Each structure stands twice: as C-alpha cells, then as structure tokens.
Amino acid sequence: MAPPPSFVPKGIQGLNMARSTRRRRDGIRSRPLQRPSAAAAIAPATPQKRQAESTPVHWPSLLAVLGIFLLALTIRSAWTLDAATEDGFKLTGGSDPYYHKRVVDYVMENGEHLVRDEMLNYPYGANNNRPPLFDWSIAIAGLVLAPFFGDAAESTWWAMEVLPAVYGALIVFPVYAIGRAQFGREAGLLGALFIAVNSGHISHSTISLADHDSYVIFFGTCAFFFFMRALTEGSDARWVADWRSAESIKRGFADFLQSERLALGYAGLAGMTLVLVALSWKGFPYLMVILVIYLVSQMVINQFRRVDSLTTAMLGIVALSLPILLALPYYWSMGFISPWWDAPAYILLAFIGASVLLVPTRDMPWLLVLGGTVTVATLGYLLLTYVFTDLGFLLFSGQGYFVRTKLFDTIAEAQPPTFANFVFSFGLVSVWFGFFGLIWMAWQLFANRLWKKDYLLILIWAAVALYMAQSAIRFIFNATPVMALLSGWVTWLLIERAGFGDVLDAWRHYWGRHGPTILFLALGSLLVGFLTFFTVGPLVGFLVGILLLALMLSIGHMAAGEDQYSLRDRLGGLRRAFEIKRPTVAFVVVGLLLLPNAFYGYDAAVPYDDKKDHDTGVYDFLRYSLLRPEEYQYDQRNNISLYPDGVSGMYNRTGVCNLAAYTTKTDCEFNSGRWSASPIWYMGITGPSFPASYWIDGLEWL
C-alpha cells in the first residue's frame, strides 16, 4: 500500500495544532494588564493561600544533570590530578593558593582563623585580608577526610587539591535550575552542558587551583537562583490601599508578611548565599550591584505600568541586608570597614532610599515620580563627585577594580582581554549565541511587553557581567554562568525551530513503536563510521557506516512486524521527513557548538607541561593532510636539502631543548636542559601551569 502524502499522520497534525492553540490561549491569559481597574486601585489585596504543588521527579533530566556533573568533575580533575600529586603536592595559580594553604594549616594547628600574619608586610606584619569561609571549608573537609587517610595533614592536602574542582563542577546544578525555570528543561540541560565544558570556567576551577574563584561563582549563581524563585513566588498585589493612612499601612504590611512567607524565605536564602560569598571574597558587592540595578529598574517599570512595588522592594531589602549585617562582625574585627564593608552598606542605603521614593508614590503620576527620582539621583551624583569625593571614588570605581592605576598595570589578570581571549573563553560560536540571546530577551521584554521579572534580572545580570568581562581578564570567569544560560537557551530555540520532534513522529509512524530507538541506533551507526573514518581509514569508515546503517534499518523493519508498509515505503517516508534545515541545525549544534566547546574545555584542563603530548595525540588522530601540517623532526630543522624554505608553519612532534644538540627529552633533562613543549599547534589557548620546584621550595619556606 502506498504511503499517505504526508509523513506525519493526521492525528499527530491535529495534536500539534491543538497544542499551538492552547499555547496562544494561555499566552493571552497570562499577559499582564497594562492598567489596573479603578476598584483594584482602591481596594487592598486579599491574602490568598497557595496550594503546595508536588511535581513528580523527571528521572531522565535528573540522570542527565548528574551525568553532566560527573563530566564537569572529570574534565576538571582527569589531566591535572597526576601533575598535582605524583611528585609531592603542588598547587597552580600563582602565590594565592599557597597563601590559602598557609591559612588552612594555621586553622588546622590552632583551631582559629589566622588574623595577624607577621609574614605579611614583613617585618611590620599585617592583618590577613582574605575572608575566612573558603579556607575554613577546606580545613573542615580535611578533618572529615582524616579517618580515611590516617593523617590530617595528608587529608588536608587532598581537600586543598580537590575541593576547588568540586565547587567548579557543582555550578551545573544552579545553571540547570535557572535554565529550567526560565527557558524549559531542555534549555537548562544545554546550559549546564555548556558551563561544564566552558574553557573560561574550567581555567579557574581545576584540581590544585586552590583559590576562591569557583567557590564564589557557585554560591553567587545560587544566590541569583534563589532570588529569581523569590520573584516568581511573590505577587504584585496592592498590599497598602492608602499610603497616607497609618492603619492601612499597618494592615498592608501584616497581610504582606502573612501571604508572602515563601517568597521572603527564598529572598532569605539568596541573602544567606550572599553571606557565604561576603565571608570568602571582599569583591562580593558586585553581586549586590547587579541586584540593585535590577530592583530599581523593576520599580521604575512598575511606575509606568501602575504596578505596586512593595513586594519587589521588600524582597530586595531582605536579600541585600543579610550580607551587610552578618558580615559586619568579621569586617569590623579585622579593620576592613573601609573600603570593603562600607561600600556595600552605602549601596543598601541607596536602594532603601530609592524604595522610599518609588513604593509609596504608586498612585501618583509617573512623570512626577520619575522626575523627582531623577532629580534626587542627579543631586546625589554631584555630591559624590564634587563634595564627598572619596566616597564617590569608592562607589564609582567599583572599590578600585575598574580604575587604571600603575599598580593594576603590573597585574596580568587586571588587564582588558584581547578579542580572541574574550571569544574563546565563552566559545567561538556560543559567545554570539549568548549575545543574540541577550538582544532577543530585551526585544521580548520591551517590544512584546512580556514583563517577566526574572527575565529582566537575567538581562541585567548578563549586561553587567559582560561589561565587567571586557574590562578585565579576571572577570571573564564571572560571566560564564549567564553566558552558558543564554547560549543554551538560544541553542534550544534553534533545535525547536528545526522540528526534530517531527522526525521522531515520522519514524514512529513508518517504523512502529520502536521507531525512535531505531533512529538513534542509525545515528550511532553513522557516528561509528565517522570515527572509523579518522582512526582506520576513509574507505573502511565509509563501509562500516553504511553496513551498520543497513543492519539497523533491517532490524527496525523486522521489529515493526506485519503492517501496511513495505521496506520501500519506510525508506520513502524517511525521504519525505528530510528537510535541509535539520541537518544544517544538527551541524551547527554538534559541529560548531558542542565539539569546539568540548575541545576548548579539554585544552583548558590540560596542564601546559603535558600539552605537547596531548597536542601530538590530536595530530595523530587527524590522519589527513587537510587537517594537519607537514611533520618534521627537531634535528631536521636546519636541513636545507630537505627543507630549503625552513620549517615555519610545520609540525614538530619532538619538542625543543634549550641546549643545542639534544633532540630527546631524556638527553635534554640529563644535561640540565629544559625541554620546551612548543610549538603547540592545536592546543595552548589556556590551561593550568605549575611553578618550578625552586618556587615551591621558596613558598614553603615562607
């Protein structure tokens, strides 16, 4: 029997149409009103109890995100573990990790934090300016692991080496949670996968890089997730009917506290995670600045839309006040009030002032309110610029992080990144997907008037993070989570646009209930043939791919059983299901996103001392001359007969010795030479590097 004209059954088409209609209807229902009714403007909000909804666990997604976590942990540890532990414990990342080890050792020996260090500013001494929580987390982990190692000193070293990689791998969970909540489960999984293999993130979160970077970004991302949950759970009800009546204000706040306990709880969780950051890194105010910019922007937008901003303001005050209040004892006792604690305290006061201006004036004309707000803001800016200049410099310079000084010019990570460094840190193509996601999200917010509060928060988070990333190399790492979110979202939009679900429907229609399984087995056959093409040869790879594909299709035909379709009909149905956009999108996703990002992440995880071996392995894997340069040996570099034009642009697998006449690594090292891994052809964009032995001896002596 001949197949129907369309490869998708009518029932499936009807189902798709029903789903589209339902989405449009739900979108219209969920679109907020631009202006409330007159009755709503007068009557106070009626508290409503929310019914707890139990969502069943989606086991495939749970297993997928756990697999991504294991992948992230493997990448951050597999190639660095031996280099960090085989010849005694070593740390990478300069002198900071070794000072963290000094603090951890002091905690282990004395049971208290290292406050005054006589070796700082020697011979005068100085207070240890590193907040304690990151170091204490390592010390506690070392004590917990001590029974398994039999020695607290060794277990502490292992905790020092491994815990930064664990913090780095844990980032996949908040990234997935934010992506799932805002863009859908699939976009969340893609965002988690992108951050797992992101070279900019891996370069600051490998084993042995015992600095607070991975710790700070993990808890900072968790803070944004909790605050987004607070925004989602909170309502924009008009809690106070009349701000001129003390009784109305009292009743409105009581109703708010009674009804918004869940939202306030999430705001409290956001504040507590900010406390974890504030007690580990003095640069925590940048997270508060992002939240303040969002909160003020949201309240300004609410003025235009005549929406009450009390919930937004209260959630912000709860989240921002906790790190200020709970971090005060530490910063006070250490003498760090200025400039590290007072700057975020002034930020909190400025936000409270903005809330006082924008919340009670809800029912006043927005032009009058915003005009007065701009006037007050301008007056404050002039006072900070010309009167309170020290405070103005502290706030406008980001505590000095965004000001070019002679001291900062000597710090490599404080320099602006090159364009290539910026792009490759996020991914050659995924960085543009992230920028497109930023623009597309702004378009949805302002053109389509879809005023989702959490969308606006992600938009401002991305804009501030990218501004910081282009200002200094050190801040590229801070922007990796939100860029992974945006690129994962845009990638999923592209996949949805290609309509791969229709392909599954077609396979299920023509090949029976086992159709999707046969499809994935067929794709696996092509993948095996592709790998064989490189590892064995082109002819063998082609034959293996074709034979395995034919075998899978034959098995699928037999598994379908007796129905109206012959094998010819099934193959014809596949031809009808084919559209050029699908292989194009598959090539973009796999060939331009997943594979390059995975390779950049692999490069970032391999220490520079071992890159030559890995680079040679890549050279050997790429068997064809199109993908690699011509090879030469070290002792042939001056052979004019073989290479009359020299060897520039050619591949040297043997490395270079800084002592002439030695052409092997063993001979070079035996004669006190240093074997150089350069030139590296495929790798070397970034990666960890361990100090020489004399540096380690000197740091241990100090």
* Rounded Cα distance, 669 and 667, in Å: 6
pLDDT of residue 410: 61
Name the residue among 196, 140, 138, 203 with its Cα closest to residue 170: 196
Over 70: is that where the pLDDT of 66 sits?
yes
Residues 386-397 have a mean pLDDT of 68
> Does residue 25 register a pLDDT over 50?
no
Question: Quick one: the chain helix, strand, coil %, rounded to 5?
Answer: 70, 0, 30
Q: What are phi and psi of 652, to 5 degrees?
A: -115, 110
User: What's the confidence (pLDDT) of residue 257?
Assistant: 92
Mean pLDDT to the nearest integer, 523-536: 83
Q: How confident is the model at residue 27 (pLDDT cuts 50, 70, 90)?
A: very low
Burial of 641 by CB count in 10 Å (0-12 exposed, 13-18 middle, 19+ buried)?
exposed
3-class DSSP assignment, residue 492: helix
Is 433:490 a contact under the CB 8 Å cutoff? yes
Encode pLDDT of 560-586 as tens digits: 766 666 777 677 767 666 777 888 888
pLDDT of res. 39: 39
Cα–Cα distance, 154 to 146 (Å, whole number): 8
pTM: 0.84
For residue 400, pLDDT over 70 is answered with no
The 10s digit of each residue's pLDDT in 594-603 is 999 999 999 9
Token pair, residue 57, equals 């666990």
395 neighbors 343 (Cβ within 8 angstroms):
yes
Tell me the per-residue pLDDT of 417-445, one tens digit each, with 9 for 90 and over: 888 888 888 988 999 999 999 999 888 87
Q: What is the mean pLDDT of the chain?
A: 82
Tell me the residue type at 46: T
Measured CA angle at 617 (ends 612, 618), to 5 deg: 100
Total Cβ atoms within 10 A of residue 470? 14
Predicted pLDDT of residue 490: 95
For residue 312, give both structure tokens.
């937004």
Q: How confident is the model at residue 541 (pLDDT cuts 50, 70, 90)?
A: confident
Query: What pLDDT score was predicted for residue 471?
Result: 83
The winner for highest mean pLDDT among 447-451, 553-557, 676-680 is 553-557
| 277 and 323 Cβ atoms separated by less than 8 Å | yes
Q: Which one, of 615, 633, 628, 620, lies nearest residue 687 by Cα?
A: 615
Contacts of 65 (CB under 8 A, 6+ apart): 172, 173, 176, 189, 192
pLDDT band at 663 (very low <50, low <70, confident <90, very high): low
pLDDT for 356 beyond 80: yes
- What pLDDT is attached to residue 669? 59
Taking only the tens place, the pLDDT of each residue in 264-278 is 999 999 999 999 999
pLDDT of the residue at 399 = 57
Phi-psi region of 235 (alpha: psi -120 to 50; beta: other; left: phi over 0): beta
Structure tokens at 509: 């229609």
- What phi-psi label fits residue 150: left (phi over 0), alpha (psi between -120 and 50 degrees) or beta? left
Side chain identity, residue 167: Y
pLDDT band at 69 (very low <50, low <70, confident <90, very high): very high
Task: Decide which of 224 and 565 is more confident.
Answer: 224
| Alpha carbons 477 and 481: distance in angstroms, whole number | 8
> What pLDDT does residue 688 have?
87
**Does residue 43 carry a pLDDT above 70?**
no
Beta pairing class for 126-127 and 116-117? antiparallel
At residue 675, the 3 state secondary structure works out as strand
Give the per-residue pLDDT at 36. Answer: 41
Neighbours of 71 (CB within 10 A): 18
Contact criterion met (CB below 8 Å) for 686 and 85: no
pLDDT at 244: 86
**Two structure tokens written together for 189:** 């999984």
Give the whole-angstrom CA distance, residue 81 versus residue 199. Answer: 18
Decide: 490 and 438 in contact? Cβ < 8 Å. no
Q: Are 473 and 686 in contact (CB under 8 A)?
A: no
CA distance 131 to 209: 18
For the CA atoms of 171, 173, 178, 182, the dihedral, rounded to the nearest 10 degrees, stands at 130
Mean pLDDT of 321-339: 92
- 3-state per-residue secondary structure call for 110-122: HCCCCCEECCCCC
| Whether the Cβ atoms of residue 509 and residue 8 lie closer than 8 Å to each other | yes
Are β-strands 126-127 and 631-632 bridged in parallel, bridged antiparallel, or unpaired?
unpaired
Helix (DSSP H) and strand (DSSP E) numbers for the chain? 31, 6
Alpha-carbon radius of gyration of the chain = 30
Taking residues 485-489, what's their average pLDDT? 95
Return the beta strands (E) in 586-660 as ranges: 631-632, 651-652, 656-657
User: 609, 656, 660, 610: which is closest to 633 by C-alpha?
Assistant: 656
Between these two residues, 6 and 496, which has the higher pLDDT value?
496
Contact (CB, 8 A) for 544 and 532: yes
For residue 388, pLDDT beyond 80: no
User: Which contacts of 324-332 are long-range, i.e. CB under 8 A and separated by 24 or more positions?
Assistant: 324/348, 326/275, 326/278, 327/275, 327/278, 327/279, 330/131, 330/132, 330/279
Provide mean pLDDT across the span 17-41. Answer: 42
What value does the mean pLDDT take over residues 604-619? 87
Query: How many other CB atoms are found less than 10 A from the CB of residue 677?
Result: 20
- Looking at residue 405, its pLDDT comes to 62
Among 122-126, 231-235, 287-291, 406-410, the least confident range: 406-410
Split at pLDDT 50, 70, 90, the class of 381 is: confident
Instruction: Please tell me which residue, 274 or 530, carries the higher pLDDT value.
Output: 274
Rounded to an integer, what distance in angstroms lies between the CA atom of residue 424 and that of residue 122? 40
pLDDT tens column, 622-644: 877 777 787 776 666 666 777 77
Which tokens sit at 669?
């090292």
Q: Residue range 499-505: average pLDDT?
A: 76
Q: Are 502 and 518 in contact, with CB atoms under 8 Å apart?
A: no
Bigger pLDDT: 434 or 505? Answer: 434
The residue with greater pLDDT, 411 or 353, is: 353
Candidate from 48-52, 105-109, 661-665 with smallest mean pLDDT: 48-52
Residue 287 pLDDT: 93
Instruction: Report the percentage of the chain scoring pLDDT > 70.
Output: 80
Report the distance separating Cα 84 and Cα 93, nearest Å: 12
Per-residue confidence (pLDDT) for residue 702, from 0 to 100: 62
Higher per-residue confidence, 158 vs 681:
158
Degrees, nearest 5: CA angle 80-222-196: 35
